[in-house]
Amino acid sequence: MDHKNPNDVEEWIRNQSVINDGLFANRIVNINLENNSFQQIFLFPSMTSLKKLSFKRNNVSTIVDNAFSDLQALEELDLSYNSITSNELRLNIFRVNKRSNLLDIISEEAALKILKLGYNDIHTLSLYCFEYLKNLEVLELNNNPLSVIDHNTEIALGYLKNLKILDLGNTGLSEFPVDMFSSLSNVQTLYLNGNKFQTIPKEIRNMPLAFLNINANPISHLDSDSFIGLDVLQELIISGMPKLTNIGSGTFVPLKKLITLHMSQNPSLSNIHYDAFRDHTTAKWSLRQLFISNTNLTTLHSKLYPWAKLDLLDAKSNHWTCDCRLSWLANYINDSFAELPELLLYYRCYEPQYLADTLLSQLNENINCDELNHVSAISQHSHGHYTRLRHFVIVISLVIVIFVFGTLINMGFKEIKKILKPRIYATSRFSTDIKYRPADFEENNDTFNVPITNKCIHGRSPIVINNSN
Could you report the per-residue pLDDT of 43-83, keeping only the tens digit for each? 999 888 999 999 999 999 999 999 999 999 999 999 999 99
Other CB atoms closer than 10 Å to residue 358's CB: what's the count?
17
**Quick one: pLDDT band at residue 233, thresholds 50, 70, 90?**
very high
Cβ atoms of 201 and 181 within 8 Å: the answer is no
Question: What is the rounded distance in angstroms from the CA atom of residue 231 to the CA atom of residue 216?
Answer: 23
Q: Which of 118, 123, 121 is nearest to 142 (CA)?
A: 118
What is the amino acid identity at position 223?
D
Please, what is the average pLDDT of the chain?
A: 84
3-state helix, strand, coil in the chain (%, to 5): 25, 15, 60
Q: What is the dihedral of CA 386, 392, 397, 400, to 10 degrees?
A: -160
Helix (H) or strand (E) holding 393, with range, is helix 369-420
| Three-state SS at 340 | coil
Using the predicted structure, report yes or no on whether residue 106 has a pLDDT greater than 80: no
According to the model, what pLDDT value does residue 111 have?
94
* Whole-number pLDDT of residue 107: 63
**What is the pLDDT averaged over residues 435-455?**
42
Per the CB < 8 A criterion, the answer to whether 203 and 178 are in contact is yes
pLDDT at 463 over 70: no
Q: List the single range of 58-72, 179-193, 238-252, 357-371 with lowest mean pLDDT.
A: 357-371
The residue type at 395: V
pLDDT at 97: 83
CA distance linking residue 336 with residue 334, whole number of Å: 6
- Give the integer Cα–Cα distance in Å for 25 and 21: 5
Q: Are strands 138-140 and 320-321 parallel, antiparallel or unpaired?
A: unpaired
Give the least confident one: 113-122, 339-348, 390-399.
390-399
Please give the Cα distance from 102 to 177 (Å, whole number): 46
Spatial distance between the Cα atoms of 328 and 364, rounded to a whole number of angstroms: 9
Q: Say yes or no to pLDDT of 265 above 60.
A: yes
The whole-number pLDDT of residue 396 equals 81
Q: Tell me whether residue 103 is exposed, middle or buried, using C-beta atoms within 10 angstroms of its C-beta: 0 to 12, 13 to 18, 19 or more.
A: exposed
Single pTM value for the model: 0.77
CA–CA gap between residue 353 and residue 67 (Å, rounded): 68
**Looking at residue 389, what is its pLDDT?**
60
Measured between alpha carbons, how far is 62 from 94 in angstroms, rounded to an integer?
14
% pLDDT > 90, the chain: 66
Cβ-based neighbours of 50, under 8 Å, separated by 6 or more: 20, 28, 29, 30, 31, 71, 73, 74
Report the pLDDT value the prediction gives residue 187, as an integer from 0 to 100: 97
- Predicted pLDDT of residue 282: 74
For residue 435, the model assigns a pLDDT of 43
Q: Which residues contact 240 (CB under 8 A, 6 or more apart)?
A: 193, 215, 216, 264, 265, 266
Choice among 204-218, 284-298, 422-436 with the minimum mean pLDDT = 422-436
Q: How confident is the model at residue 364 (pLDDT cuts 50, 70, 90)?
A: very high
The SS3 assignment for 99 reads strand
pLDDT grade, residue 448 (50/70/90)?
very low
Q: Which pLDDT tens digit goes with each residue over 176-221?
A: 999 899 889 999 999 999 999 999 999 999 899 999 999 999 999 9
By C-alpha distance, which of 356, 355, 358, 354 is closest to 344? 358
Mean pLDDT of 360-389: 63
3-class DSSP string for 203-257: HHCCCCCCEEECCCCCCCEECCCCCCCCCCCCEEECCCCCCCCEECCCCCCCCCC
- Residue 12: the pLDDT is 80
The Cα 429–Cα 408 span in angstroms is 41
- 3-state SS, 153-198, equals HHHHHHCCCCCCEEECCCCCCCCCCCCCCCCCCCCCEEECCCCCCC
CA of 400: how far to CAs of 117, 249, 363, 405, 411, in Å?
Answer: 81, 43, 54, 8, 17
CA atoms within 13 A on the CB side of 145: 6
The confidence score (pLDDT) of residue 283 equals 73
**Domain coordinates in residue numbering, the chain:** 431-469
Q: Is the pLDDT of residue 2 over 70?
A: no
Q: What is the reported pLDDT for 48?
A: 87
CA distance 228 to 221: 15
- State the pLDDT confidence band at 224, using cuts at 50, 70 and 90: very high
- Label residue 2 exposed, middle or buried (CB < 10 Å: 0-12, 13-18, 19+): exposed
Residue 288 has pLDDT above 80, yes or no: yes
- Cα–Cα distance measured from residue 426 to residue 432, given in angstroms and rounded to the nearest whole number: 9
Give 262's strand partners.
Answer: 237, 291
Residue 363's pLDDT is: 96
The answer to whether the Cα torsion of 57, 62, 68, 70 is positive or negative is negative
- DSSP assigned state of 349: E
Instruction: Please report which confidence band the pLDDT of residue 445 belongs to, taking 50, 70 and 90 as the band edges.
Output: very low
* pLDDT value, residue 414: 67
Instruction: Name the strands in the sheet holding 138-140, side by side, starting at the edge strand that comes first in the sequence.
Output: 30-32, 52-54, 76-78, 114-116, 138-140, 165-167, 189-191, 211-213, 235-237, 260-262, 289-291, 312-314
pLDDT score for 385:
52
